[in-house]
Every structure is written in structure tokens, then in C-alpha cells.
Structure 1
């Protein structure tokens, strides 16, 4: 009697927990360190970002600037934003410049909506006189 055929293992998809939904590349440069981020930053992946940020802020023992390139981030929720804000606090305590140098449209919207982009050296796209809601003229 022959054994039944064995089904091949399922291919990893972005919804599979083992699939890397976030990409972090560390690039040392003459001016400091660049973290190139891509994919999704949410409650399931923020710990990987946090680890990379902690490593980059403690690496080398110097006060070399840390720049984040988030141009390939497709999603970032409040957990991701909190991870970035905590990293900013750690960087400030260590007197290490931390900035975001490039953002995707989704990240730009999040930072603009929460008015936190300026904390990372990004200009706000909001007009200072703009309101958060529709205006009703009398």
C-alpha cells in the first residue's frame, strides 16, 4: 500500500505570522546611521522596529545622528508611532540627533494628522491657519 501524497507546505504570504511584514536595513554612513524601513509597522511588528532603533541608538557609543528612511513603509499605526516617539525620547536623553528623512504618503499623513512630523525634523503640510474640520461661515 502506498502512502497518501503529502501536501506541500503553504507558501508564506503577508498574512502568515512568520512572514516578515517589516523590513529594516541598517546602513552606516560617514554622517551617521540610516535605518531604511519598509512594509508594515503595527502592533505585530513594532517590536522589530524598537529593537533596531535601540541597537542603532546604542551602537558605537558615540553621538552619531540616526536618520530614518520610511519611504517604503506601507502602513504605520499608533503602535508604530509610539515606537518612534519612544525612540525620540531615548535619543534626546543620549543627545543623539534622530530624524526622519523620507516618508511614504501613508506615513506623511499619519505624522501630519498627529502633528508629530516636526518632532523628527519634517515640515508640516498643514497651513498654520487651517482647521481640523470644515469651516462654517455665518
Structure 2
């Protein structure tokens, strides 16, 4: 059963959330949802981002993957990275792989220097 955008929208008021620093949207795609994040991942946005990502994991059928598009992330601090790592742990414990398919240069650099980039790649 495909994950519908409507299911996430009904479960989460943050389906498409915009505030002064971050915008998040979830779109249905073959094989699982794509979460696109634009702006800053920091202490200010962490609570809403965490809630949205947890709802996305819960709504995603077991065995399907969740894809993150971080190509428009302009800033990410340790709080934002922590949200991504906790989401990965939850997703994997529910047999739902979490991968980053695109990342901004700043996000790529953060994942590289923290050694976490390999955690968000698909198993080959």
C-alpha cells in the first residue's frame, strides 16, 4: 500500500511547515516518502522536524525507505544532526531505511567531518 501524502498530512500539522528558518515538505514517491528540508536545522526547528520525521517513519510501510533531500539546507548544528541520527535509528528499528539522496555542500561537510555520511547511504 503506497504511503499517501494525505496520510501524513492528517497525522501531522507539520506536513508542509514554514517558519522564519525552515521549510519541510513530505511527498509520496515510489518506494517511500521523500522529505525535503530547506533552511536551518537547529535548536529552533528541531522539535517540529523531529515530530514530522517520527510521523513519517510511523506512516511509512515496513520495508519501504524514507529519502531525505537536504540539498537546500543552509545550516545544521548538533541538534539538527541529532534529530537526523535519532530518526535513522527509529527507521532502522522498524525496517525502514533512511537515506540522504541530496545534500547541500554545508550538509555534506558536516556529515563528512562527523563521520556520519555512511550511515545515510543505501546498502548496496
* Counterpart residue number, 1:12: none
- 1:7-30 Cα distance to aligned partner (Å, 9 max, x none): xxxxxxxxxxx9431111100112
Q: Deviations over 1:58-105 (max 9, x none)?
A: 015433210000000000000000111101110111010100010001
Moved segments of 4+, more than 2 Å: 60-63
| Corresponding residue of 1:80 | 80
For the structure 1 residues 90 and 60, does the alpha-carbon distance in structure 2 shift closer, same or farther, using more than 3 Å as the test? Answer: closer
- Indicate the SS of the match to 1:31: coil
User: Unaligned regions of 5+ residues in structure 1, if any?
Assistant: 1-17, 123-138
With over 3 angstroms needed to count, the CA separation of the structure-2 counterparts of 1:21 and 1:96, relative to structure 1, is same
Query: Considering only CA atoms, is the larger Rg found in Structure 1 or Structure 2?
Result: 1
TM-score, normalization by structure 1: 0.72
In structure 2, the gaps of 5 or more residues are 1-17
Mean CA deviation greater in 69-78 or 45-54: 45-54
Indicate the RMSD between aligned Cα atoms, in angstroms: 1.6
Q: Which has the higher contact order (CA 8 A, sep 6+)?
A: 2
Q: How many residues align?
A: 105
Structure with the higher helix share, 1 or 2 = 2
Asked whether the equivalents of residues 62 and 94 of structure 2 are also in contact (C-alpha less than 8 Å), the reply is no
Q: TM-score, normalised by structure 2?
A: 0.79
54-63 vs 95-104, which moves further: 54-63
CA distance in 2, matches of 1:119, 1:19: 29
